[in-house]
Structure 1
Amino acid sequence: MIRIVICDDESETRAYLLSLIQAQPYLCEVVEHSSATAFLADPRETDLLLLDIELAPGSPDGMDLAERIREKWTGQQPIIIFVTGYEHYVFDAFDVDAFQYLLKPVDEEKFAKVFARAVARIESAKEKPALTLQFANTTKTISLDDIYYIESSNHKVILHLTDGEFASYVKIGDLELELQGHFFRVHKGYLVNLSYVAGYTKTEVALTNGAKLLISKYKYQEFVKAYLRFLKKGVGL
């Protein structure tokens, strides 16, 4: 089930977009909101947001809402497709990582193509476990298979990723509980992705990216048991 929100102050536009969604071959739950304020008051997670930019006065406009989602959203980040009558906002849409920018009146064939691509991305993300973290004004959802290991440093954690690093003010102990089964805390400062273990000794674990991390002597036996359980279950990210 894909949860979709249409946020537009024009009832006719909402009805038209709803008809386009219902014509697609996917199982969807669709919710309509006439303002950004109404959307923000809805606590449920959203997979896909069809968002107008110029909403009714008295409420944040669509671009403001998108910025708030990208900067402060602590839950799942929705895919955002702008549906607007104004072409000049298109470059601003890149700044909030919009998936697509559709001009009104929306062409049915183009909508179907864009919608199918959005659904494919949503379903792919749902199949892979992920971690959502916040740092400063940035919220990022990271697939677990993009994380080699997590390091505790100066009251924050640093995620060592396949494409760089990401830091967040979260306790490594909380991540240890959340990620158990896929990750193991080999040392007070390191939480290792078991998928990327290349080998180990009684004093260190080697990862496939070349990193070598210390194993606490108090953690070694439990690490070996956890890693063997992981291999036996064939857990793959």
Structure 2
Amino acid sequence: MIKTAICDDEPKTRAYLSSLIQAQPFPCEIAEYASAGEYLADQKEIDLLFLDIELDPDDSGSDGMALARKIREGGSAVQPVIIFVTGYEQYVFDAFDVGAFHYLVKPVDEGKFAGVFARAAEQVMTGWKVPQRARPLVLSFAGTNKVVPLDSIYYIESSNHKAVLHMKDGEFACYMKIRDLELELQEHFFRIHKGYLVNLSYVSGYSKTEVTLTNGERLLLSKYKYPDFTKAYLRFLKKGAGL
């Protein structure tokens, strides 16, 4: 049983999110709160929290972000997976600063919700740890900005003077040098070849000549990169395991 909670001051939003949760193929217990004060007063153990960033401050003076910080700073042995629900993407940076698992933009799409919920449920069932703060990428292309969470990227490919992001929901290309991305993402990604920068979280195996990702794709591993890759991957695994 996944203990879920919705904290949003809009009754219609709470009802809609509750219906989406009930439609998922996971047994869930659902609690609803209209304010940060209600959530904190209940003191119920929660596995998965859908939290409105623009939550109106109550008598406790806490909006959605302040509530998230109180939860993270509370020192509780059990920390909920937090998924922010927001009408504005501008808050995404603050969301990742409090170890949010993901964010959903209102009006919430049913298909997007199902995918995010499934991944969050897997985290709950395998044991959730508050992630280290990892800023998402903000990329510009054709006059528009795109906010890209790091956990949505399998790998980045250098192609025709562009960087092509191979993501869970498709591809995105931008005019950016892969070596600049390599510097920015060096804690989470590794350059296995002049043309590939892989997300170490999605490496499922490797040989001396290729790296296999969790989505089944196989990428060429340079023989010159192999020694450093194995060291970097081992450090990444140890760090993730808290060793």
- When residues 164 and 27 of structure 1 are mapped into structure 2, their CA distance, relative to the original with a 3 A threshold, is closer
Question: Match of 1:87, as an amino acid?
Answer: E
- When residues 86 and 124 of structure 1 are mapped into structure 2, their CA distance, relative to the original with a 3 A threshold, is same
CA distance, structure 2, for counterparts of residue 86 and residue 93 of structure 1: 11
SS of the residue corresponding to residue 41 of structure 1 reads helix
The corresponding residue for 2:3 is 3
Question: Match of 1:80, as an amino acid?
Answer: I
CA distance, structure 2, for counterparts of residue 107 and residue 164 of structure 1: 31
CA distance, structure 1, for counterparts of residue 241 and residue 125 of structure 2: 25
The corresponding residue for 2:159 is none
CA contact (8 A) 2:49 2:83 kept: yes
CA contact (8 A) 1:5 1:46 kept: yes
* Deviation at residue 86 of structure 1 after TM alignment: 1.8
Residue of structure 2 aligned with 1:112, choices 105, 111, 114: 114
CA distance, structure 2, for counterparts of residue 65 and residue 164 of structure 1: 26
SS of the residue corresponding to residue 127 of structure 2 reads helix
CA contact (8 A) 2:85 2:106 kept: yes
Extract unaligned runs of 5+ from structure 1: 133-160, 167-208, 210-237
TM-score, normalisation: structure 1: 0.53
The corresponding residue for 2:94 is 92
The corresponding residue for 2:16 is 16
CA distance, structure 2, for counterparts of residue 43 and residue 88 of structure 1: 30
CA distance, structure 1, for counterparts of residue 8 and residue 28 of structure 2: 18
CA distance, structure 1, for counterparts of residue 75 and residue 14 of structure 2: 24
CA distance, structure 2, for counterparts of residue 35 and residue 84 of structure 1: 15
The corresponding residue for 1:123 is 125
- When residues 23 and 94 of structure 1 are mapped into structure 2, their CA distance, relative to the original with a 3 A threshold, is same
The corresponding residue for 1:44 is 44
The corresponding residue for 1:163 is 239
Q: How does 1:1-237 map to 2 (within 5 A)?
A: 1-58=1-58, 59-125=61-127, 162-163=238-239
* Deviation at residue 8 of structure 1 after TM alignment: 0.1
* Deviation at residue 56 of structure 1 after TM alignment: 2.1
* Deviation at residue 165 of structure 1 after TM alignment: 11
Residues 189-226 of structure 1, C-alpha deviations (whole Å, 9 max, x = no match): xxxxxxxxxxxxxxxxxxxx9xxxxxxxxxxxxxxxxx
CA contact (8 A) 1:50 1:80 kept: yes
CA distance, structure 2, for counterparts of residue 5 and residue 67 of structure 1: 17
* Deviation at residue 164 of structure 1 after TM alignment: 9.0
TM-score, normalisation: structure 2: 0.52
CA distance, structure 2, for counterparts of residue 98 and residue 164 of structure 1: 17
Extract unaligned runs of 5+ from structure 2: 131-236
CA contact (8 A) 1:4 1:47 kept: yes
* Deviation at residue 73 of structure 1 after TM alignment: 3.3
* Deviation at residue 54 of structure 1 after TM alignment: 1.3
* Deviation at residue 162 of structure 1 after TM alignment: 3.9
Query: How many aligned residue pairs are there?
Result: 135
The corresponding residue for 1:232 is none
Question: Match of 1:98, as an amino acid?
Answer: A
* Deviation at residue 116 of structure 1 after TM alignment: 0.2
- When residues 165 and 15 of structure 1 are mapped into structure 2, their CA distance, relative to the original with a 3 A threshold, is closer
Q: Percent identity?
A: 61
* Deviation at residue 84 of structure 1 after TM alignment: 1.1
Residues 100-145 of structure 1, C-alpha deviations (whole Å, 9 max, x = no match): 010000000000000000001111118xxx9x9xxxxxxxxxxxxx
Larger radius of gyration: 1
